[in-house]
Chain A
Amino acid sequence: MATEVKQHSVSPHNHHSELSFWRKYIFSTDHKVIGMQYLLTGLIMVFVGGFFAYVFRMQLAFPGQGIPLYGKLDANAYNMMITMHGTIMIFWVAMPLLVAAFGNLLIPTMIGADDMAFPTLNMISYWVFFISTVVLILSMVLPGPMAAGWTAYPPLSANGYPAQIDFWGSIGGSLWILAVALEFVAFLIGGINFLVTTFNMRAPGMKLMDMPITVWMMNIAVLVFMFSVGPLVAGAVMLLFDRSFGTGFYNPAVGGDPILFQHFFWFFGHPEVYVILLPGLGMVAEVIATMARKPLFGYKAIIYASIISGFLSFIVWAHHQFIAGIDPRMAVFFSFTTIMISVPFAVWMFAAIATLWKASITLNTPMLFALGFIGEFLLGGVTGIYLGASAFDIYAHDNYFVVAHFHYALIPDVFFGGLAAIYFWYPKFVGRMYNETLGKVHFWLTTLGFNMIFLPLFYNGLKGEHRRIFDYSAWPSLMSADMTQNRVIATVGMLILCAAQIPFVINMIHSARKGVKAERNPWKANSLEWVTASPPPHGNFETYPSVYRGPYEYSVPGREEDYWPQHLPQ
């Protein structure tokens, strides 16, 4: 590495800033615009997915009655909505919001680069994602939408066996598979971009262990995604063949194996949990360290633990299949690894708590969401350890205990982590401060609504409320007074959670136009994105920074200020 070459292409964009509207905001190659495009698409899709949740929760609490804004729900539409709710929330909300949007916004600015390594590919990535969104919406309105759960297990997802091949009659489900595949292509391109950018475009002096934890987590997540997505694409191609050409890969009558699809799905599906969890953990750790004004406790320990969890996430997948009739000896192995994978996340939890210990904490909106994340995610994590034990899982897997568990894992991550990040970096990328009061109202209402939905479901689940029933009034044993009451409480909680998003939308739109202009570094944080103007100009930095120290040098003894930005020389 002795040779030093002049980089002439550091900011080729600055010379021709008179780009047309289309090139500047629509078909832009600027990572910040692409990040914003992903963010807005994700935020729009959360309302689509949320609307489905509203409809089917209303149906569960008040079966058979007309639902305001929708009307009467039938069982097929219910199945379609459950499927689309899961698909949208995981692939069209969590992934674009936590990975694509914040990865695009933060990675180049945090490592001091002018843009991604492959800006054109980055633009293609967003537009492939956009097309996939359109295809997904088409798949809902065309005949035969996918109604087999977001996991799409055959034979249900293959129109039964022998598969009934009616091309136009089942076009919706086939388009659903296509949409998911296109979405993976988009994130694959984006992921390659993230990794290459991080490896090759760091500011001078920035070693791997000087990178903010967010950049680390994004890259570990993307690596996990890239190595797990291949099998699911393979499995999806086989499912599409079964649907369209009558191959029978998953049809036991001709020697196929329906469990095979579950293996493919969860070989991807479980790492996917960590793909969306790790960026959340990284961004929340960032918020906590900044607002606690203390160095992030165990920075390296968190990184090593996350790498280990990335490896472990590839050998836990079959815990989703304990009730699918897999070999009990295999179940023992997967129980063991599942319980083991909670250790790296316990490391993160303790590191976060140790960072907060004896700190002077600023309780603003991003910090509230970050603290909310710690509390709520703990519940999801702890119930996960119960479910990891196959003996308990066999009872709990098909009831609402599991539903409550994974919502307690994913909503803290996507909602609390994602919103902490949105509020935290809002001044940087929008250039104006958000309204603190509205932010706090948003936080408390969201927390209230969220817990009101899912705490009662733990209880109902343990009482045996099966999770794949459309209308409980047909099952007298599940219609006891307390269970019915809990379902109503959960639905009211859902309404509160929906209403809680109104202050958020008002805050975001109003502050973007009328908010106080943000200074460069409103939180007095260390990492490089706070060096540049808010919002960063095209090419990100006026002068490109060099890095002299790690990102968490807060409250260093002997310094006047309680922070020490990475780019300042000694």
Chain B
Amino acid sequence: MNQTKSRPLVSNPILGMVFFLGTEIMFFAAFISAYLVNRANAGFTWPPPGQPRLPIEATAFNSLFLIISGVTLIVAWIAFKNKTQIHKWLWLTLGCGSIFVLLQGAEWVRLLHFGLTVSSSLYGAFFYLIVGAHALHAVAGLLCLLSVLRQFQNQPNLLKMPFAIQMAQSFFPAAALFWGFVVLVWPIIYLTVYL
């Protein structure tokens, strides 16, 4: 029953994730273009008077953690390829990502106190919509990374397999792609929504 097949160029989980990210890119593109259209319509009354301004510096500081998590992810990828210690880099990625989500959450609480809510203005509505969508993706990405760690714990010899099998059977490449998307889309959101 065994059948010889040529190995696929790109393994199943990675290919699936690439197609999924295509959909995700279109999803965020829709939010951001809707935001830009409304902002252009509003002209000089954007951001609307009487609404709190978004904390540009504090968010830049938070973003630093997200960017660091992206860097540690790249290091984790190299470790994955070289079959060296990957766990600590994954934990670092998880840690930095979680700090980003928590700090952003704290910022939301402050903004809600200052009176920026979904129904206070279109400005607030778009802010919570877009940043909230990103936050949901970040939490999903963190859960994916956690499941990667669990897989490495359950199948410790997966990391010693040939690279092709590693790529096909580990959750890591797909989860890394997803987290990479979460990191890379954030600067675009920051530049359009905050600045």
Query: A residues within 8 Å of B by Cβ?
Result: 1, 3-8, 10-11, 14, 117-118, 188, 191-193, 195-196, 199-201, 204, 223, 226-231, 233-235, 237-238, 241, 245-249, 254-257, 260, 264, 267, 544
Judging by beta carbons under 8 Å apart, are A241 and B34 in contact?
A: no
**From B25, B41, B45, B119, contact of A245 by CB (8 A):** B119
In the complex, per-residue mask of B1-14: 1 if CB is within 8 Å of any chain A CB, else 0: 11111111111100
- Shortest CB–CB separation between residue A369 and chain B, in angstroms? 32
8 other A-B residue contacts (CB within 8 Å) besides A200-B10, A247-B119: A1-B9, A5-B5, A188-B20, A196-B15, A248-B125, A249-B34, A264-B34, A267-B30
**From A118, A201, A204, A245, contact of B118 by CB (8 A):** A245
Residues of chain B from 18 to 57 with CB closer than 8 A to chain A in the complex: 19-20, 22-31, 34, 37-38, 41-42, 45
- Cα A246 to Cα B122 with chains together (Å): 10
Judging by beta carbons under 8 Å apart, are B12 and A235 in contact?
A: no
- Cα A228 to Cα B23 with chains together (Å): 8
Judging by beta carbons under 8 Å apart, are B27 and A257 in contact?
A: no
Judging by beta carbons under 8 Å apart, are A256 and B27 in contact?
A: no
Known pairs A14-B1, A254-B122, A257-B41; A230 contacts B30 (CB<8 A): yes
Q: Whose C-beta in chain A lies nearest to the C-beta of B46? A: A255
* Residue B16 interfacial (CB < 8 Å): yes
Question: Ordered nearest first, which 4 A-B pairs have the shortest CB separation?
Answer: A230-B26, A230-B27, A231-B30, A234-B30
* Residue B129 interfacial (CB < 8 Å): yes
- Shortest CB–CB separation between residue A392 and chain B, in angstroms? 29
* Chain B residues positioned under 8 Å from A229 (CB to CB): 23, 26
Q: Whose C-beta in chain A lies nearest to the C-beta of B34? A: A260
- Shortest CB–CB separation between residue A29 and chain B, in angstroms? 15
* Chain B residues positioned under 8 Å from A256 (CB to CB): 38, 122
* Chain A residues positioned under 8 Å from B121 (CB to CB): 254
* Chain B residues positioned under 8 Å from A118 (CB to CB): 12, 16
* Chain B residues positioned under 8 Å from A196 (CB to CB): 12, 15-16, 19
Known pairs A4-B5, A5-B164, A230-B27; A255 contacts B118 (CB<8 A): no
Judging by beta carbons under 8 Å apart, are A544 and B3 in contact?
A: yes
Judging by beta carbons under 8 Å apart, are A249 and B9 in contact?
A: no
Question: Can you list 12 A-B pairs with a CB-CB distance of less than 8 A?
Answer: A117-B16, A192-B19, A196-B15, A196-B16, A200-B12, A229-B23, A230-B24, A230-B28, A234-B34, A247-B129, A254-B122, A264-B30
**From B7, B11, B15, B25, contact of A3 by CB (8 A):** B7
Query: B residues within 8 Å of A by Cβ?
Result: 1-12, 15-16, 19-20, 22-31, 34, 37-38, 41-42, 45, 118-119, 121-122, 125-126, 129, 133, 164
* Chain B residues positioned under 8 Å from A3 (CB to CB): 6-7, 164
Q: Whose C-beta in chain B lies nearest to the C-beta of A121? A: B16
**From A200, A238, A241, A255, contact of B15 by CB (8 A):** A200
* Chain A residues positioned under 8 Å from B20 (CB to CB): 188, 192, 226
- Cα A226 to Cα B6 with chains together (Å): 28
* Chain B residues positioned under 8 Å from A228 (CB to CB): 26
* Chain B residues positioned under 8 Å from A233 (CB to CB): 27
* Chain A residues positioned under 8 Å from B12 (CB to CB): 117-118, 196, 200
Most buried by B among A3, A6, A255: A255
- Cα A69 to Cα B44 with chains together (Å): 59
Judging by beta carbons under 8 Å apart, are A230 and B41 in contact?
A: no
Judging by beta carbons under 8 Å apart, are A230 and B23 in contact?
A: yes
**From B4, B5, B125, contact of A247 by CB (8 A):** B125
Q: Whose C-beta in chain A lies nearest to the C-beta of B31? A: A234
Judging by beta carbons under 8 Å apart, are B19 and A204 in contact?
A: no
Most buried by B among A5, A6, A10: A5
Q: Whose C-beta in chain B lies nearest to the C-beta of A116? A: B12
Known pairs A230-B23, A235-B30, A247-B118; A257 contacts B37 (CB<8 A): yes
- Cα A11 to Cα B35 with chains together (Å): 50
Q: Whose C-beta in chain A lies nearest to the C-beta of B123? A: A255
Q: Whose C-beta in chain B lies nearest to the C-beta of A543? A: B1
Judging by beta carbons under 8 Å apart, are A199 and B15 in contact?
A: yes
- Cα A238 to Cα B8 with chains together (Å): 40
- Cα A86 to Cα B42 with chains together (Å): 35
Q: Whose C-beta in chain B lies nearest to the C-beta of A260? A: B34
Q: Whose C-beta in chain B lies nearest to the C-beta of A163? A: B119
Q: Whose C-beta in chain A lies nearest to the C-beta of B25? A: A230
* Chain B residues positioned under 8 Å from A6 (CB to CB): 2, 4
- Cα A264 to Cα B129 with chains together (Å): 16
- Shortest CB–CB separation between residue B185 and chain A, in angstroms? 12
Known pairs A199-B10, A204-B6, A257-B37; A237 contacts B15 (CB<8 A): no
Judging by beta carbons under 8 Å apart, are B8 and A200 in contact?
A: yes
- Cα A241 to Cα B29 with chains together (Å): 18
**From A8, A238, A267, contact of B2 by CB (8 A):** A8
Judging by beta carbons under 8 Å apart, are B23 and A195 in contact?
A: no
- Cα A410 to Cα B156 with chains together (Å): 53
- Cα A10 to Cα B29 with chains together (Å): 40
* Chain A residues positioned under 8 Å from B26 (CB to CB): 227-231
Judging by beta carbons under 8 Å apart, are A10 and B2 in contact?
A: yes
- Cα A5 to Cα B27 with chains together (Å): 38
- Shortest CB–CB separation between residue A521 and chain B, in angstroms? 22
* Chain A residues positioned under 8 Å from B118 (CB to CB): 241, 245-247
- Cα A264 to Cα B20 with chains together (Å): 19
* Chain B residues positioned under 8 Å from A188 (CB to CB): 20, 23
**From B1, B8, B38, contact of A11 by CB (8 A):** B1
